[in-house]
Amino acid sequence: EFDLKKAQARAHILEGLRIALDHIDEIIAIIRQSQTSEIAKNQLMDNYGLSDKQAQAILDMRLVRLTGLEREKIESEYQDLLKAIADYKEILASKDRINQIIYEELMEIQRKFGDKRRTELMVGEVLSIEDEDLIEEEEVAVTS
């Protein structure tokens, strides 16, 4: 569920960036003509139906992201997120798939950390523990 929400939030931002890239000249004009970033954000939201987070992401976007390569990266990331979101929804809808993922993760943990016990447990029966049993025995010299 966490991964699904995170992917959906990022996809939402990328949808806004895709809109901005499609209307880049108008977006730049709005930003230049606005007195404050709040006015620019409100105009972007009104003109293009963007959410507050999408409009803020557009205002935070650096000009280097306007290049063709960056546009391809945004589109590629968006398509990958759509696939991931569909997969997360499929996982959450299937109890068998959830159990399979849990099993695989536990097996991976066992593979990484499943070695023999390194500490030795107390051997024998302990009937009681006195305060003196907890003090480490060591040689000391008492002088007066």
**105-119 average pLDDT score:** 85
Domain encompassing residue 73: 2-113
Q: Are 41 and 83 in contact (CB under 8 A)?
A: no
54 in a domain, yes or no?
yes
Give every CB contact of residue 61 below 8 A, 6+ residues apart in sequence.
17, 20
What is the pTM assigned to this prediction? 0.66
Instruction: Examine residue 82 and state whether it is found in any structural domain, yes or no.
Output: yes
User: Considering the domain boundaries, does residue 35 fall inside one?
Assistant: yes
Across the range 83-101, mean pLDDT stands at 94
CB 9 within 8 A of CB 100: no
Model confidence band, residue 32 (pLDDT cutoffs 50, 70, 90): confident
CATH code (residue 53): 1.10.268.10
| Residue 118 reports pLDDT greater than 90 | no
The count of structural domains within the chain is 1
